[in-house]
Structure 1
Amino acid sequence: MSAMPWHAADWVRLQARRQRDALPHALLLCGPAGLGKRVFAQRFVRGLLCARAQDGEACGQCRSCLLLDAGTHPDVVTLSFGLRKDGTPRTEIVIEQIRELSARLAMSSQFGGWQVALIDPADAMNAAAANALLKTLEEPAGQTLLVLLADAPWRLPQTIRSRCQRIEFTVPAVDEARTWLEGQGVAQAQVALDAALGNPGLALAWAQEGALERRIEVRRDLAALAAGRGQVTEMARRWLDDEAAQRLWFAAQAVADERRAQAVQAAAPLASTMDGEALAHWYDAANRTRDALRGPLRGDLLLLELLAQWR
């Protein structure tokens, strides 16, 4: 499994603990999406369970590796969003799932080695599920490893976080990220990194899916509204129909650039008549709107209100 260069230090530390037979019973892999937490977790679990691992790297050919490839390894369970009784996917991990997981981990390993449970996204557990998991964390079975993955670890209770060995994934140095992106075939590596605020995994995904063109369009839309052109209703509908949350990310980024330009009395790219304080308020509102899109409120009304404030 391909390693990302900014994983190296955490990988070495974790393997050193494994060699000392001092692995924790629970790991919390956390940090922004796009930094390879899940790649790291899968790579580590494969090496942990592999019968012929070398320096923590799985051989890819033993029985354990083949079962992992097929998704049928009996000592690995992945817990994520389940289905409701009507067949629709849940938006949170619930207590029944944690109880089933705890019962599974209470049984002996079928291969006589490690049992591994991955909870992803762990920050989607509701309060009851988190409380149920706490008992398993407090009374871990031997050779059982819980791996929690979270983009927003602050949503987890402190009681959960304090009982896990935390590995924090952070944005790497610009040169390292750009070199890696160029190695992935991204022609506009620096532009993609700027769009993703230095996050190389996010930059790669956005470069591949055409998000950089969407970023230009968002800035063009905001400049048009600032100049009194464009229709708010049409713009809100278009944003809602095509990656609204991503567009709001780009909008907030554009307004931050506008505020910085005003502060140094440079040519502001959006030519807004808002002052620095108003731009800061709109920046916060754009981020709140992006979060609110995940909730029950109507997205079209949220975007209409935000864009009307900008105009």
Structure 2
Amino acid sequence: MLPALTPWQQRAYVQACEALTAGHFGHATLITGPEKIGKRVLAEHLAQRVLCLTPRTDGEACGVCKSCHLFASRAQMETLEVRPDGSPAHPWGHSAHPDLYFLGYEINSKTGKPRSEIVIEQIRALTEKMGLTAQLGGMQVVIIEPADAVNWHAWNAVLKTLEEPQPGRYLWLLSSNPAQLPATIRSRCQRLEVRLPMQQEALHWLQQRGHPDALAAEALDAARGHPGLAAAWAAGDGLALRREVVKDAQALLRGQADSVQTAQRWLADGRASERLAHLAEFALREAMGLTELAATRTLAARFDAANRARDLLRTPAREDLVVIDALRMWR
């Protein structure tokens, strides 16, 4: 079974369902929203509805047809691939449903590690899949996540698919940074946005998940109102890691820590990217309320350096040098 939709996912889902019912839901849709806000869960709920062979009178999936049974089977499959940052991702070609395709980071056959981008060979394979007749006689759905990772050469192949839509085919692009997508792609897609909820709604949701009030409030504040991040941090050691990052940054500012040694420690457990995200958030928080231009510029440079380092960690660049450069901004 798919995870239940959160209130903020439900709002986007209802919007999409209304467009589907009215026949206004286009061939290609760009589903946007912050990381960990639940874009993929939303897309999978929509896919189950679209692929159902005998939908109910309200348009929802029946849960008993062959498509629904296959969809339930694929929902229970173990994820066999991870993103470069270690988080799970749907692998290409591992859907138990013959008309549902996921396109994400693929394992590089030469290195045995996930690629840092989605390449043109994957898009070409996708195009071939979409050219085939739906095996169950219904619709076909392709979900590309993260769309931000599609490289520029591959976008040309995607553009051809967008310019020559076929009936009964849906292409959904999931992106946390839609501005990074080519304008030619964005202009050819409808947009469905998953927005952050109001603080009280997010706090109530965290409490319903069993997090104590004080912990939920601290996590939500640290995540700047993002319930997905707050839930992940409250359930694990994310808040402790954040406190550690702040402590390290303050030690660097006072000259009580060394950038090289700190970088080595950050890289030792494979969570450097997560620490850099906390570092960027700390810089942003420190900049709030400042009126001095020089200080604001310094913190903006630190914020940019931390985010740039996160991006570089997805490339073949030397990880130690990348993290050291970001930390040196705090000396």
TM-score (norm 1): 0.88
More deviation, 200-209/56-65: 56-65
Please give the per-residue CA displacement for 1:234-266, whole angstroms capped at 9, x wherever unaligned: 2221112242122122223323333447659xx
Asked if structure 2 preserves the Cα contact closer than 8 Å seen for 1:43 and 1:57, the reply is: no
1:154 maps to 2:179: yes
Contact 1:44 1:57 in 2 (8 A): no
Task: Identify the residue that residue 77 of structure 1 maps to in structure 2.
Answer: 101
Aligned to 1:253: 281
CA distance in 1, matches of 2:132, 2:162: 16
Q: 2:44 aligns with which of 26, 31, 42?
A: 42
Q: Once the 2 structures are TM-superposed, how far is the Cα of residue 231 of structure 1 from its aligned partner?
A: 3.6
Do the aligned partners of 2:55 and 2:62 also contact (CA within 8 Å) in 1?
yes
What count of residue pairs does the alignment treat as equivalent?
Answer: 302
CA 164–245 in structure 1, closer or farther in 2 if over 3 Å, else same:
same
Q: 1:225 to 1:93 in 2, by over 3 A?
A: closer
Unaligned runs of 5+ in 1: 265-273
Aligned twin of 1:270: none
Question: Which 4+ residue blocks in structure 1 deviate beyond 6 angstroms?
Answer: none
**Residue of 194, 208, 221 corresponding to 2:235:** 208
Give unmatched runs, 5+ long, in structure 2: 75-95
Deviation at 1:45, TM superposition (A): 0.6
- The whole-number CA distance in structure 1 between the counterparts of 2:282 and 2:9 is 30
Q: Report whether the alignment pairs 1:195 with 2:222.
A: yes
- Once residues 261 and 105 of structure 1 are traced to their aligned partners in structure 2, the CA distance between those partners, rounded to angstroms, is 51
2:300 counterpart of 1:298: no
Report the RMSD for the aligned CA atoms in angstroms.
Answer: 2.3
Inter-partner Cα distance in structure 2 for 1:109 and 1:80: 21
Instruction: Identify the match of residue 136 of structure 1 among 157, 161, 170.
Output: 161
Name the TM-score, length of structure 2 as normaliser.
0.83
Contact 2:146–2:175 at 8 Å: present in 1 too? yes
SS in 2 for 1:73: coil
**Mapped contact 2:55–2:61 kept (Cα < 8 A):** yes
What is the 5 A alignment of 1:1-311? 1=2, 2-54=4-56, 55-71=58-74, 72-86=96-110, 87-187=112-212, 188-242=215-269, 243-260=271-288, 275-311=295-331
| CA–CA separation in structure 1 for the residues paired with 2:297 and 2:184 | 38
Using the TM superposition, name which of 52-61 and 71-80 deviates more: 52-61
Kindly provide the amino acid, as one letter, of the partner of residue 330 in structure 2.
W
Shift of 1:20: 2.1
Q: Is the 8 A contact 1:178 1:193 kept in 2?
A: yes
* Deviates further, 211-220 or 240-249: 240-249
User: Is contact 2:49-2:61 (8 Å) kept?
Assistant: yes
Q: Tell me, in whole angstroms, the C-alpha distance in 1 between the residues paired with 2:159 and 2:296.
A: 46
List per-residue Cα deviations over 1:198-241 (Å, max 9, x = no partner): 11112111222211001111122222333332343322211122
- How has the CA–CA distance of structure 1 residues 279 and 84 changed in structure 2, closer, same or farther, with 3 Å as cutoff? closer
Change (3 A) 1:282 1:18: closer
Structure 2: distance between partners of 1:21 and 1:261: 47
Is 1:27–1:164's contact at 8 Å kept on the other side of the alignment? Answer: yes
Query: Any idea what SS the aligned residue of 1:291 has?
Result: helix
1:56 is displaced (CA, Å) by 4.2
Does the CA-based 8 Å contact 1:44-1:56 persist in structure 2? Answer: no
Q: Structure 1 residue 5: deviation in Å?
A: 0.2
